[in-house]
Amino acid sequence: MSTDVDTVAQPTRRPTEQPAIEGRSLSKVYGLGDRQAARALAADDPAAAVAAAGGYLGAADVSFSIGTGEMFVVMGLSGSGKSTVLRMINRLNEPTAGELLIDGEDITKVSDSRLREIRNSRIGMVFQHFSLFPHRTVRDNAAYGLKVRGVGRAERRERADAALQRVGLGDRGDKLPHELSGGMRQRVGLARALAVDPPVLLMDEPFSALDPLIRRDMQDLLLELQAEDRRTTVFVTHDLNEAMRIGDQVMVMRQGRVVQCAPGAEIVAHPADEYVSEFVADVDRARVLTAYDLQRPAKLVFTVDERPDAALRRLGDNEAQGAYVLGQDERLLGVVTDAALLAAVNRGDADLSASVSQDFHTVEPTAHIGDFMHRAGRQVVPVTVVDARGRLSGVVPRATILSSLSTAPAQERERDERPLEVAARA
Amino acid sequence: MPDLRIGERGESVIDFMTEHLGGFFDLLKDFLNFGLRSVYELLTALTPVAMVVVLVVLAVLATRRILLSISLGLGLLLIQAMDLWSETMQTMASVVVATVVALVIGIPLGIWSAFDPVVRSILRPVLDLMQTLPVFVYLLPTILFFGVGDAPGLVATIVFSVPPAVRLTQLGINQVDSETVEAAVAFGASRREVLREVQLPLAMPSIMTGVNQVIMLALSMVVVAGLVGGAGLGGVVVNAVQGLQIAASIEGGLAVVVIAIYLDRVTSALGGQGRANPAWWPRRREAAPAAPVTAEPVSVG
């Protein structure tokens, strides 16, 4: 992000102390023996070397760090390596090189029995095609992880039913999976993962096999559960809207490499390259971009003790009809219009306090464009962004909103272009 | 081309086995005969009519089709009417023993070959050999090993009927959706647990098809077993044909057909139902679709 953001907390980013999951230079080579793969990876251009040896580079030098309780989305087209990365976390795919730390423990080095223990007690997984056990009831499916753990029948039943309750299937325990609809089946998949109450949840395109309405329901359910549990979750998807909707951090991958890793709104506002901007071209920006992402500094700001005639002159110089007025403590008092200033000059006021009006619309920095775009252009000043302490954060002109909603990369923010008026505040 | 004299070499191997493995073959013979006798005694413990009732009840439980089960019962009564009941039960006994032994050998081999491509590629030509080598070629050595009686026919039957058990077990396990297997692995299941709790239950329809095939192949061997002195319907048919008794051969053949149909319907029904459906009474017949063998779950909105 740009540097002038210290006063406003970035809305989607959560501070992370010790990472819950950390990937260090993970690579995955398919179709080659260990030694051959190691040699190919050591080459200057690993992808070409692996391809020349007859293999396929699924993930190349992927590093990431996921904070406890974070919803980390891995996004990319098919074949971009996103599932490969996810499946390296519980070693369904064995990493060819690199380290993967879960709470500081490098799971690429643990024994088979310890790996099974980690898979069972620390990691829950939800699959794209649900992968329920068709011969077991919904309850037995949900209880599977507990059964592997050796939990007794009664407790297993109780905890499985509790998990099913949470996903809204409390009354379906005795059904078989084929008796449920797709959305319900994935709820069972989610319950199966939740029943073991793992600190980490892996979700491999869990909703992409569902139709859009059900998908939205499932996202809501996940967000609801996440609000209660704050579980560290790695979520793979190819749907950018989904990524933006649920992700705290989004990692965009292409051809096995990380292209960009940032909060969703930043990816939309500042795509790292052509690939990402093409990717974000069809995202529903109104639901992703916030006032904070679009705001620019207000061009014309008066302080309350300024003289009305001087203020009116500056208003005229700027060909504006209104401007903001700040109090002594930099809090936003309101706006003045040219008509109000003229009246104040005629009255012979010494300052602007009598001329301030509240005829403008304010939004918080975290507000989405979709929530306020209809207000733009109604008043003499643009939509006004005000932070939690009542200070003027910036403005969002209507032209900025419109251009941000077009598919071109957002170029509208020219933060460096600071008007002199701001610096002239008393 | 040099004369490799494969036939003579093979013969000397068989001579060697006859000479040095006699004890082993005697043991095997005693074991098979003991099995045959026990099963036969079990099957003839009841009067023929009572036994027919038991078999019809079993058919109802397995197929859940009452009309079919009654037809099967009438067929079995026909056997009694032809006065071939004890021969039929002898044949049943040898089918049961041959099937059990074939499955005990075939299913573990099938599981092993499902997980080990090397085993699979070695087993494949061996299974081909067992199924296509003309029966009489290995019938002769078995007489040398076991002497005339039930045992040589039974061993030939077992050799002939093992392959489908191996093949269909392996196929069933390899057909289980790999994502479903992964789901179990992802929750920390060991290989043994995955096999026991996911792969075998989901391979069950295929394995039961294998069981059905084994039984049918075993039954198809009973006439051949009659040639080498096996008791039962095979003996009846062979004697009738050798004596040009057309009437007796028709009766013997008909009895074979009846138990073939009975065993086929009952065992194929077991395969189709699988274990997925706990209901075991005719009522829920239409509510139980066949368990998905190649279970790629269809996404229904």
The pLDDT tens digits of the residues spanning B114-148 come to 999 999 999 999 999 988 888 888 888 888 888 88
Same-domain pairing of A274 and A239: yes
Mean pLDDT, residues B144-167 taken together: 89
This complex has an ipTM of 0.71
| pLDDT above 90 (res B162) | yes
Of B182, B289, B301, the CB nearest to A182: B301
Of A90, A117, A210, the CB nearest to B186: A90
Window from A133-147, A265-279, B185-199 with minimum mean pLDDT = A265-279
Whichever domain contains A23, its CATH number is 3.40.50.300
Contacts of A236 in chain B (CB under 8 A): none
pLDDT of residue A10: 41
B180:A133 CB<8 A: yes
Question: Residue B296: inside a domain, yes or no?
Answer: no
Of A127, A135, A177, the CB nearest to B179: A127
Same-domain pairing of A277 and A303: no
Residue that is last in its domain, among A244, A264, A283 = A283
Window from A378-382, A419-423, B211-215, B288-292 with minimum mean pLDDT = A419-423
Confidence of residue B12 (pLDDT cuts 50, 70, 90): confident
Same-domain pairing of A267 and A322: no
pLDDT of residue A410: 41
Question: Residue B284: inside a domain, yes or no?
Answer: no
Range of the structural domain that residue B170 is part of: 14-276
Question: Residue A152: inside a domain, yes or no?
Answer: no
Cβ neighbour number for residue A361 with a 10 Å cutoff: 16
d(CA A74, CA A6): 28
Same-domain pairing of A265 and A382: no
Q: A-B interface: how many C-beta pairs under 8 angstroms?
A: 89
A145:B187 CB<8 A: yes
Question: Residue A12: inside a domain, yes or no?
Answer: no
Residues in a beta bridge with A71: A233
Q: Is A265 on the interface with B (CB under 8 A)?
A: no
Question: Which amino acid would we find at residue A61?
Answer: D
Asked if residue A365 lies in contact with residue A426, where contact means CB atoms within 8 angstroms, the answer is: no
Question: Residue B1: inside a domain, yes or no?
Answer: no
Q: Which residue has the tokens 């077992």?
A: B158
A131:B301 CB<8 A: no
For the record, the structure tokens of B67 come out as 């009309």
d(CA A107, CA A115): 7
Q: What is B240-298 written as a DSSP string?
A: HHHTT-HHHHHHHHHHHHHHHHHHHHHHHHHHHHTTT----SGGGGGG-PPPPTT----
Mean pLDDT, residues B237-266 taken together: 91
Instruction: Strands of B40-179 (E only): list them.
Output: none
d(CA B221, CA B158): 9
Q: In this predicted model, which residue has the larger pLDDT, B52 or A348?
A: B52
Question: B100 vs chain A: nearest CA distance in angstroms?
Answer: 26
d(CA A243, CA A265): 10
Question: Residue B299: inside a domain, yes or no?
Answer: no
How many structural domains compose chain B? 1
Q: What is the pLDDT of residues A42-65, one digit of tens each?
A: 888 888 888 888 888 889 999 999
Question: Residue A73: inside a domain, yes or no?
Answer: yes
| pLDDT above 60 (res B226) | yes
pLDDT of residue A407: 53
Same-domain pairing of A257 and A387: no
Confidence of residue A358 (pLDDT cuts 50, 70, 90): confident
Question: Residue A149: inside a domain, yes or no?
Answer: no
At how many degrees (to 10) do helices A338-347 and A308-317 cross? 150
Same-domain pairing of A105 and A234: yes
pLDDT of residue A341: 86
| pLDDT above 60 (res A268) | yes
Same-domain pairing of A270 and A394: no
d(CA A275, CA A254): 8
Question: Residue A277: inside a domain, yes or no?
Answer: yes
Mean pLDDT, residues B157-169 taken together: 93
Q: In the predicted model, what is the mean pLDDT of chain B?
A: 85
Pick from A8, A11, A13, A9: nearest CA to A392: A8
Question: Residue B292: inside a domain, yes or no?
Answer: no
Best to test chain A binding among B177, B206, B299 (most A CBs inside 10 Å): B299
Question: Residue B7: inside a domain, yes or no?
Answer: no
Q: Is A420 exposed, middle or buried (0-12, 13-18, 19+ CB in 10 A)?
A: exposed
Q: What is B72-129 written as a DSSP string?
A: HHHHHHHHHHTT-HHHHHHHHHHHHHHHHHHHHHHHHHHHHHHH-HHHHHHHHHHHHH
A92:B180 CB<8 A: no
How many structural domains compose chain A? 2
Question: Residue B50: inside a domain, yes or no?
Answer: yes
Asked if residue B59 lies in contact with residue B72, where contact means CB atoms within 8 angstroms, the answer is: yes
pLDDT of residue A17: 65
Same-domain pairing of A342 and A278: no
Whichever domain contains A354, its CATH number is 3.10.580.10
pLDDT of residue B169: 95
pLDDT of residue A11: 42
Mean pLDDT, residues A79-90 taken together: 91
Same-domain pairing of A325 and A397: yes
Question: Residue A141: inside a domain, yes or no?
Answer: no
Question: Residue A203: inside a domain, yes or no?
Answer: yes
A145:B188 CB<8 A: yes
Contacts of A128 in chain B (CB under 8 A): 179
Residue that is last in its domain, among A283, A318, A343 = A283
Instruction: Strands of A68-212 (E only): list them.
Output: 71-75, 97-102, 105-106, 123-126, 200-204
Confidence of residue B272 (pLDDT cuts 50, 70, 90): low
Residue that is last in its domain, among A283, A307, A336 = A283
pLDDT of residue A420: 36
d(CA A215, CA A233): 18
Same-domain pairing of A223 and A109: yes
pLDDT of residue A415: 38
Same-domain pairing of A375 and A321: yes
Confidence of residue A138 (pLDDT cuts 50, 70, 90): very high
pLDDT of residue A23: 92
Range of the structural domain that residue A301 is part of: 292-423
Question: Residue A258: inside a domain, yes or no?
Answer: yes
pLDDT of residue B147: 85
Q: In the predicted model, what is the mean pLDDT of chain A?
A: 83
Asked if residue A344 lies in contact with residue A356, where contact means CB atoms within 8 angstroms, the answer is: no
| pLDDT above 50 (res A422) | no
| pLDDT above 80 (res A284) | no
Question: Residue B64: inside a domain, yes or no?
Answer: yes
Residues in a beta bridge with A101: A22, A106
Q: Which string of b and e fits B30-40 if b means at least 16 CB within 10 Å?
A: eebbebbeebb
| pLDDT above 80 (res B85) | yes
Q: In this predicted model, which residue has the larger pLDDT, A398 or A29?
A: A29
Mean pLDDT, residues A198-227 taken together: 90
Q: Is A330 on the interface with B (CB under 8 A)?
A: no
Q: In this predicted model, which residue has the larger pLDDT, A17 or B58?
A: B58
Same-domain pairing of A329 and A255: no
For the record, the structure tokens of A225 come out as 């559960």
